Amino acid sequence: MFRPPAPEPAATQPGFWERVRLARSNALRMWSARAYEEEIAVVPMLGRAMILLNRPDDIRHVLVEHPDRYRRSAASVRILRPIVGHGLLLSEGEAWRLQRRTVAPALAPRSLPLLLRHVVTATDDALAGLSGPVNLLAAMQTLALEIAGRSMFSLETKQFGPQMRALLAQYAENLARPHMLDLLLPHGIPAPRDIPRYFFQRRWMRFMDGIIAARLAAPEPEAPRDLFDLLRAARDPETGHGFSRAELRDQVATLILAGHETTAVALFWSFFLLAHAPEAQARVAAEAAGLDISAENATAALEHLPFTRAVLNEALRLYPPAFTLVRQARVADRIGALDVAAGSVVMIAPWVLHRHRTLWKDPDLFDPSRFLPGAPEIPRFAYLPFGAGPRICVGMQFALAEATLVLAKIIGAYQVALEPGETVMPVAVITTQPDHPAMFRLTPRTAPVLARAA
């Protein structure tokens, strides 16, 4: 089996200043080899504790049983607020509950047929441009953004896609990398980079308002066409309230950002893994062969793609886009036998959790069979690519369906291989990405593939 590349963990736990440096360069190297074997790792941090949880019962305690005792870290809020505003991702308390109740029905399974039509049409349009040497990360970012634009607004992104990608790239390069003071200063005390982030937020939200204005100028449909129509019509089932224009903008910004970047990197790593596993790639191609993956049949096609879905799930295990979940204790708490002081930083790191020696067999190997029907049951809360509990990603089902269909269509059309001499190492700052824009060679499939599994 293929052992995908990953940074070698340090023999001893890095010190505080080294962790600060790694948070800005590659957070995957923040934890020592022992963290992949221990249930709890506690590291001192300027008078407070930084606690890494790997025991499923402890993770349940924080994310499911007592989420109100914990909040997002100040650094997370500083970095994400300028691009998602006060949408579902960062809202808290009653504001979050109201938004969740209102947004969730728009992304319920019954909405998938409407949204997956846009996935298939965007992928079909992109297929012709993928042959030859391809920067697959950039290609998947472009495709995922196109899908986000169509499924959200029924608009092709030619008119706003380049500017959106440029703005997001500018933010990622200049303002999204945490500064030392972002990590150290508590909630309510501005950090120096908060000033340029504020001006970026004003520019970004004006841009989002312009997209919404263009969408609202289109003729009114008789039936919902996209996620924007569903959100505009959404009402809180308890109060009957809908979103204001500003609230709608923040939800749109949240869903576009969270939906397209994480899906793009999940697809990149899926292709990367399949490029090193020709038998698995042939099996994905065999599933897609002869299968009607059309806009009209997209939802029905999903049930015929179990191995493709398993490859995606294994890619999310090995290279989780959200590599860490950071919470800060609002009040003193007790997690198992550990007393947690108010202000302590509690981390649940899918990167570590998904490779933990006590939770997974051969955790460093690429093995999609872990996720096939009949495989040994995976311990609950050992696999968290989308989080868990009441704040689990509201778009999880759509994201999984989208990525599965894209993977099947592209592997069904092309044989994917890395260009000779290419090597890739994962790095994590905001998401788990390759360390450079690796080039792939996509060759059209002309020879018959294996017969599709029944």
Query: With 0-12 CB in 10 A as exposed, 13-18 as middle and 19+ as buried, what is 407?
Result: buried
Q: Which amino acid is at 208?
A: M
Average pLDDT over every residue of 417-425: 93
More confidently predicted of 452 and 29: 29
Q: Left, alpha or beta for 129 (phi > 0: left; psi -120 to 50: alpha)?
A: alpha
Could you give phi then psi for residue 263, rounded to 5 degrees? Answer: -65, -40
* Residues with Cβ within 8 Å of residue 87, at least 6 apart in sequence: 99, 247, 250, 251, 253, 254, 255
Look at strands 414-418 and 70-72 and give their pairing.
Answer: unpaired
DSSP state of 441: E
Could you give phi then psi for residue 281, rounded to 5 degrees? Answer: -65, -40
Enumerate domains of the chain plus CATH numbers.
16-444 (1.10.630.10)
Q: Is the pLDDT of residue 451 over 60?
A: no
Instruction: Please report the pLDDT score of residue 185 as a whole number.
Output: 80
For residues 68 and 287, what is the distance between their CA atoms, to the nearest angstrom? Answer: 44
* The pair of three-digit structure tokens given for residue 155, joined into one six-digit string: 């608009």
Q: In 104-135, which ranges are continuous DSSP H helix?
A: 112-127
The number of beta carbons lying within 10 Å of the beta carbon of residue 38 is 17
Contact by Cβ (8 Å): 110, 224:
no
Instruction: Please report the pLDDT score of residue 179 as a whole number.
Output: 80
* The pair of three-digit structure tokens given for residue 50, joined into one six-digit string: 């930084």
Taking only the tens place, the pLDDT of each residue in 331-381 is 999 999 999 999 999 999 999 999 999 999 999 999 999 999 999 999 989
Instruction: Please report the pLDDT score of residue 452 as a whole number.
Output: 44
Q: To which residue do tokens 């992949």 refer?
A: 36
Mean pLDDT, the chain, rounded, equals: 90
Q: Is the pLDDT of residue 454 over 50?
A: no
For residues 207 and 82, what is the distance between their CA atoms, to the nearest angstrom? Answer: 13
Instruction: Please report the pLDDT score of residue 20 as a whole number.
Output: 78
Strand, helix or coil for residue 409 = helix
